[in-house]
Chain A
């Protein structure tokens, strides 16, 4: 191990060695060793990941990695999911497609998250990349089924078409018929987000029948229950399946058909869908439950007893998404039945109701934390919490890597003591030393941020809403959280002081989002001036920020580091603070 090796490898050998290095972090490290390693690595990097599409330009990516086959791009900030990013903000993929179409025809995979994808982009993809194989669009919008038709018609080698949580203009269900009859390479199809219009069942059936390598099929709501049996009959090899509407008049023949065909799917590991599910049809899936590792019931509006029955049949469950209809009692059963559970997401069935409609409290989360030793990722919506519960959760489950708690009503105090929940979340960050993602809620003072800054050393992403008392809170986080990369804040009394005092920190982070806080326009200008390599973008639909006094707080602020400089595709309500501290209007 300590022998000195006094020879150097020829480039091809190095390239071969590098081909075993998949992780971006490792490849980045390799590129730093010396100039020739940088050169070799950049020519053989096949997968490129760009966490913020505005941090680098398409041209820069292509110049550095001339032969990549797969690209993943992320666009809008996460708070776009809560409608905090106005339409037209940006995140357009077309410039990327256009540059890549020109640069190399051998691109095979495109994965996009929170980007605006137009039919024009899809048509360009279909036309430009002859060996195109994978298209994954996650939380994207801007396209219609016409664009999908273009992909279906032209991409002869398409293996994966995954539209998860996209907003698609459903012009015609017949886009599926654009897959030629000779096309058989589909492995994964997720159309669950498509509309409820009459789908082309026969085209779908024929597609499934001839694509014998199909492993993942997630249908949309339009596919009725009685059609599922016909579709599944041709795909017993499926590993992941998402039903359409899971309701029908209760007919014995439909039921037995369904039960029969499901039980012949010996490879099924993941189920989803279940729109409008009626309990009578649920037992049809019991035969496959023992093999299930992932179950998404977030659309299943069934009550706790039926959920309990279902979950008790799934001892190997690793991932569960469910509505709060499961209630504390259901989560207690989950805790005792599913010892392999790693990820749990509990969504609110009635988030806007004034009163709780179900008996789901902090007790459910405590039960699962105590009972499931492998639990590491939680997203939990509830209406009450206590410091005591959080401390118990933290102590019993120090292996949390993602902890997102959403107490529905902002500034809700500990229901037992009426105190803030600082101590509870403090325990989470203190005991869960590998915590990488945290979402806070409830009544919180600057204290909680002091705990976070002190203990959350591996935290990469923090989401904060309606919390804190002063700039000190923000300062604790920015000065203490060494691994912090994404910080998103809304409706907190954080202002200029902490931001300006920690300006340098912002260059170590991917992005900072602050909306409805107390950061003044003057501070934004100053930040833009001080930190030329940051894009400091003010988003304000009320009109130009300089039409108001300088000390007026801006509506929304999005700051991100970039090697591409300011962007030029901003809508009229976004201003970038540049070095001249003036305004750049789009």
Chain B
């Protein structure tokens, strides 16, 4: 129900044009505030996660976690731009990842959660202690 193989075009603030599969970019996007470099990184992130979720790429959760950790090993300016872009493009998982990384970087904190422990806490937070906006 719904095609995922259509391509859409994105034009960035510095006039670069990207062509991506619809599954990777599921929202109507305003990218005029996002530079080509940042958008390129974001598309990498989205592609990786969509492919991994769809089974198109053979990657274990641990390997994806590792990939994410490397993804955010950038200078703080870039990290900051990624946060703004993830927020603007409404990519919640990337926003979570980059914000946590930013907090950890700013406060010099090492993320000592194992992937299972982090998942367990996340589940407990959302399933038990989550409030609606209504």
Chain A positions near chain B (C-beta within 8 angstroms): 1-2, 4-9, 23-25, 28-29, 31-35, 37-38, 48-51, 55-56, 60-61, 64, 401-402, 436-437, 458, 460-461, 472, 475, 479, 485-486, 510, 561-563
Contacts and interface: CB of A to CB of B under 8 A. Distances in A.
Interface of B: 1, 76-77, 80, 99-100, 103-113, 117-118, 121-134
| 7 closest cross-chain pairs (CB), A and B | A56-B128, A28-B125, A437-B134, A436-B134, A2-B76, A436-B133, A460-B132
Contacts of A61: 128
Given A28-B129, A460-B133, 12 more contacts: A8-B107, A29-B99, A31-B125, A32-B113, A32-B122, A37-B109, A51-B132, A60-B124, A437-B134, A460-B132, A486-B132, A563-B124
Contacts of B109: 8, 33-34, 37
A51 B131 contact: yes
Contacts of A56: 124, 127-129
Given A33-B103, A436-B134, A475-B1, A55 B108 contact: no
B110 A34 contact: yes
A4 B105 CA distance: 7
Given A51-B130, A479-B1, A31 B107 contact: no
Contacts of A32: 100, 113, 118, 121-122, 125
A31 B121 contact: yes
9 contacts: A4-B76, A4-B108, A32-B113, A34-B109, A34-B112, A38-B121, A48-B129, A458-B133, A563-B127
A2 B77 contact: yes
Contacts of A7: 108
A561 B118 contact: no
A515 to B, nearest CB: 21
A8 B108 CA distance: 7
A453 B126 CA distance: 22
Contacts of B110: 34
Contact of B107 (A5, A60, A461, A486): A5
B125 A485 contact: no
B76 to A, nearest CB: 5
Contacts of B76: 2, 4
A60 B127 CA distance: 12
B87 to A, nearest CB: 14
Given A4-B106, A8-B107, A33 B133 contact: no
Interface of B is mostly: helix
A458 B110 CA distance: 33
A24 B100 contact: no
A66 to B, nearest CB: 15
Contact of A55 (B105, B128, B132, B133): B128
A60 B132 contact: no
Interface centre among A6, A485, A486 (most CB of B within 10 A): A485
B128 A563 contact: yes
A6 B108 contact: yes
B110 to A, nearest CB: 7
Nearest to B110: A34
B121 A436 contact: no
A24 B131 contact: yes
A1 B102 CA distance: 11
B134 A24 contact: no
B132 A563 contact: no
Contacts of B134: 401-402, 436-437, 460-461
B91 to A, nearest CB: 12
Contact of A24 (B112, B121, B129): B129
A5 B104 CA distance: 10
A461 B132 contact: yes
Contact of B132 (A4, A23, A50, A485): A485
Nearest to A49: B131
A28 B130 CA distance: 8
A67 to B, nearest CB: 15
A50 B128 contact: yes
Given A51-B131, A60-B128, A34 B1 contact: no
Contacts of B125: 28, 31-32
A60 B99 CA distance: 28
A33 to B, nearest CB: 6
Nearest to A479: B1
Contacts of B133: 401, 436, 458, 460
Contacts of B122: 32
A308 to B, nearest CB: 31
Contacts of A31: 121, 125
